A and B are shown apart, each in its own frame.
Chain A
Amino acid sequence: KQEVTQIPAALSVPEGENLVLNCSFTDSAIYNLQWFRQDPGKGLTSLLLIQSSQREQTSGRLNASLDKSSGRSTLYIAASQPGDSATYLCAVYNTNAGKSTFGDGTTLTVKP
């Protein structure tokens, strides 16, 4: 059974800092890993999707890496802004079942 863990559970940083969010998974038989953002009371916004054959994906100030063999992914946020404050979820998409397994999320607060 796939298990996904996100560390830390919460993170508070001053504006402008670079930061890293971590996601680890137990079963490396994945098709892809996706990072989402969820604002309080809102839905999911897809940030980056990394296919199992890829090592990283970049979008603006965001960079996601994937090390499938070690079961790890990181989301790097450069020059953080108060508007980045949200909960960040990673979801692993497994090969066999077609299901996604989500981590518990990291709640990020960027202070002005």
Chain B
Amino acid sequence: GAVVSQHPSRVICKSGTSVKIECRSLDFQATTMFWYRQFPKQSLMLMATSNEGSKATYEQGVEKDKFLINHASLTLSTLTVTSAHPEDSSFYICSAPFQGYTEAFFGQGTRLTVV
């Protein structure tokens, strides 16, 4: 069945470095990928929408220069947290709509810790 594979599941990085998170759609083409973020003790909030071959759309308050999204192919979207700081430590998860947007599949999530 349709699956979204997200890597890495956990990453610890030093402050000031960049981290790339990948989401791949397996067995289906994902022209759109959604990226969510979860702050501690809060729910998941939509950060941005990536569309294959075009610029991502960011939700209000999300810094596009800090969270770089690339959707270069129909099966791969990446989120790069640039110059990460401790306040970027969070849980990030992607989802991809399937079958004409009737269902969405979620990646496993990435827990980022910036030290």
Contacts and interface: CB of A to CB of B under 8 A. Distances in A.
Given A41-B111, A43-B91, A100-B34, A93 B43 contact: no
Q: Chain B interface mostly helix, strand, loop or mixed?
A: strand
A87 B32 CA distance: 28
Contacts of A31: 101-103
A43 B42 contact: no
20 contacts: A31-B101, A41-B111, A43-B93, A43-B108, A43-B111, A44-B106, A93-B103, A93-B104, A95-B101, A98-B32, A98-B101, A99-B34, A100-B46, A100-B95, A100-B104, A102-B36, A102-B43, A102-B45, A104-B42, A105-B43
Q: Is the interface of A mostly helix, strand, loop or mixed?
A: strand
Contacts of B49: 99
Nearest to B113: A41
